[in-house]
Amino acid sequence: MNNLDPIAVFRTEAAEQLEVIEAGLLDLTRNLDDKAQIDAVFRGLHTLKGSGSMFGFDQLAAFTHHCETAFDRVRKGEAPATSELIAAVLDAQGHMQALLDQPNGDHDAMSTRLLDQLHKAVGREASAGQQSTAKPVAAKSEPARRTWQLEFRLPADSMINGTNPLGLIDELRDLGECTLHVSTDTLPSLDLIDPTQLYLGWSATIVTDKPRSDIEDVFIFVMDEMVMDLKDVTPAIEVTASATAAPQSTDATPQETTATREDQRTPAGDAKSQRQSDNVRVPALRLDEMMDRVGELVIAQSRLSQMAGSAVDLGLRSVSEEIERLAGELRDTMMVLRMMPVASLFSRFRRLVHDLARETGKEIELVTTGEGTEVDKTVIDRLADPLVHLVRNSIDHGLELPQDRIAAGKPAVGQVTLSAHQTGSEVVITIKDDGRGIDRARVRAKAEANGLIQPGQALSDQELLQQIFQPGFSTAEKVTNLSGRGVGMDVVKKTIEALRGSIDVKSDEGSGSEIALRIPLTLAIIDGLLVRVGNGNYVIPLSAVEECLELSAEEDLRSRGRSFISLRDDLVPFLRLRELFRTGTQPDRYQKVVVISTGRERVGLVVDQIIGDHQTVIKSMSKLHDQVSSFSGATILGDGNVALILDVAHLIAAGQQQEAQMRAAG
């Protein structure tokens, strides 16, 4: 039984339609003469208006109708496509979202203001030198009236999907003189009628001065699924007379019209049906629930494997191995289901950059690469706000005004680049700008003034740059609508750390800055390395593990006081987890060093025993453990015991701090 709320489905599809409209408008800002984008925006507005009316969103439908009318004029060459019009419809598009979210709210004042802006933009003539889609139209006589023969049959489930056949018929009648006949040849007997199905067909003769496209637009919502045959049957004498008065060259001959319709009808319907069968809309909550079940299955499978490993019964071992294989495949399939391309995240920033360019007076180009890189849906949802802060920061603090860029020998147009790529089991998302870069002297002065560091304190370049993520930190000289209050960047760091990620900062003064976010591909199940420290078990994310070394008791004694190991001519600091966790136990005779890294930074972790690989189902820590920064979560082992998951970023930071202190002391 289908229990999906049709209003909820409409809201989802309407939100997607608004994204399509926004994307088309932003594309038009680059080329106002792009006929394909003008048509795409018009179709999106037309679809939104019609479906809104069908589902009772009357304010949305009425407001969208004005925007649709404006673009219809542009489409027909009656008005120019100008930057003012695009800006007006972009503002209106944001208001459409409010009308969608609160259909019964009081939106009259905002609607009136936006419609006034829209009407002024449509009525304004293109200024000198401004590109426009409007072409000079020669004076002509009244449009020629044509006679059209239309036969159509709507999809059987039209009424279930919200289509009102009588409303379509009324739209046909509004086009001109319309004579209509109904076909009942497929109407079943009364006892077989399903009241939700549509069994009727229609034929109509329409005499109108409207073009063929206006007739087709009546059926724009059901065009791909319906059966339709539209012919121009204007009497020859009338066509000749009309041609003499006002030449018509845009419509095909009756034979061409029919052929075209028959050739295109079936493939379009088949393609639509294929798309519908290939894609299923599933609520994200159901995927989350399924992910939880898969996680529990992985835990149960781990327990079964542990029991089977010590069993004598070879049949039990065989079944255990088969279940392990199937559980692994199910886990991988579930991961793929939850993955989404970052294109869905990056596309949101086109509008943000467009609006900020208008607000700041800066010329900005947004470049995106690696949009096909896939990340867990939960990760994408949580990254939206941090990326907004970083992009706004790049534009406000990084990019200069056009005249300043030209004076510095740069192009007037500043560039912000969003890129993504996958490395192992993590994805790296980079925000880069070609602006003025980070003024290190100003950062140090501000950090010292705020008491974040001591005057003259020795800091590595990365440590100094990381100060911009401290709470309350800002180098802005004045507060603006974009920044200056010292909030935002600290939220970015907290969010990324909550995702078990890390942040790298690079900047060249005068050339720009680059901030790289390293994020796990998924937050639910990871491959881990299970280790023992004292009497406790811990999990290290396998993606962060570089290699494992042996540390004998003699080497352990020799390294006391310096805590460094030599790794291929490099000195790598290491942490004794037994001391860090205060286990109160004696070290094993042959300890192990697990070298972990995030990017360029490496640290060794001294453990007593390496147990092996472990599929780790991540469980969140309780609120009582929020301040325990050494761990990012916990997992349940096959024997029912709990193992804590080490926070790699925190441990590496602790190792680097220990290294800096030792270097300063020695």
- Note the pLDDT tens digit of each residue in 283-313: 777 877 888 888 888 888 888 887 887 777 7
DSSP alpha helix (H) spans, 541-607: 553-558, 577-580
Closest CA to 291 of 339, 337, 328, 334: 334
What is the number of other CB atoms lying within 10 angstroms of the CB of residue 355?
Answer: 14
pLDDT bucket at 485, cuts 50 / 70 / 90 = very low
Position 610, amino acid = I
The pLDDT of residue 513: 92
- Note the pLDDT tens digit of each residue in 334-363: 877 778 888 888 888 888 888 888 888 899
- Note the pLDDT tens digit of each residue in 192-215: 888 888 888 999 999 998 888 888
Give dist(CA 347, CA 364) in Å, integer: 16
pLDDT bucket at 501, cuts 50 / 70 / 90 = confident
Q: What would the DSSP string read from start to end of 345-385?
A: HHTHHHHHHHHHHHHH---EEEEEE-TT-EEEHHHHHHHHH
pLDDT bucket at 399, cuts 50 / 70 / 90 = very high
- Note the pLDDT tens digit of each residue in 252-288: 433 333 334 333 333 334 444 444 445 666 777 787 7
- Note the pLDDT tens digit of each residue in 96-126: 988 988 888 888 888 889 888 888 887 654 3
Q: What is the CA radius of gyration of the chain?
A: 33
Compute φ and ψ for 272, nearest 5 degrees.
-65, -45
Average pLDDT over residues 420-448: 87
The pLDDT of residue 132: 41
pLDDT bucket at 150, cuts 50 / 70 / 90 = very high
The pLDDT of residue 317: 84
The pLDDT of residue 419: 93
Q: Give yes or no for residue 484 having a pLDDT over 50.
A: no
Percent of all residues in the chain with a pLDDT value above 90, rounded to a whole number: 9
pLDDT bucket at 658, cuts 50 / 70 / 90 = low
If one compares 418 and 324, the residue with the highest pLDDT of the two is 418
**Architecture of the domain defined by 6-123:** Up-down Bundle (1.20)
Computed over every residue of the chain, the mean pLDDT equals: 79
- Torsion angle, CA of 401/405/407/409, rounded to 10 degrees? -170
- Note the pLDDT tens digit of each residue in 542-576: 878 888 888 876 777 766 656 777 777 777 888 88
Q: Give yes or no for residue 324 having a pLDDT over 80.
A: yes
Q: Give yes or no for residue 582 having a pLDDT over 70.
A: yes
Average pLDDT over residues 22-48: 86
CATH number of 342-520: 3.30.565.10
For the chain, give every domain's residue range: 6-123, 146-239+252-271, 284-340, 342-520, 525-665
CATH number of 525-665: 2.30.30.40
How far apart are the two ends of the chain, measured CA to CA in Å?
73
Average pLDDT over residues 595-618: 81
Average pLDDT over residues 53-73: 85
Distances in Å between the alpha carbon of 283 and those of 12, 286, 601, 639? 11, 6, 40, 34
CATH number of 146-239+252-271: 3.30.70
What is the number of other CB atoms lying within 10 angstroms of the CB of residue 424?
Answer: 10
Distances in Å between the alpha carbon of 454 and those of 445, 458, 475? 10, 9, 18
- Note the pLDDT tens digit of each residue in 162-186: 677 888 888 888 888 899 899 888 8
Give dist(CA 609, CA 534) in Å, integer: 9
pLDDT bucket at 406, cuts 50 / 70 / 90 = very high
Its sign, for the CA torsion 107, 108, 112, 113, is: negative
**470-501 b/e with 16+ CB inside 10 Å = b?**
beebbbeeeeeebbeebebbbebbebbbebbb
Contact between 613 and 661 under an 8 Å Cβ cutoff? The reply is no
pLDDT bucket at 405, cuts 50 / 70 / 90 = very high
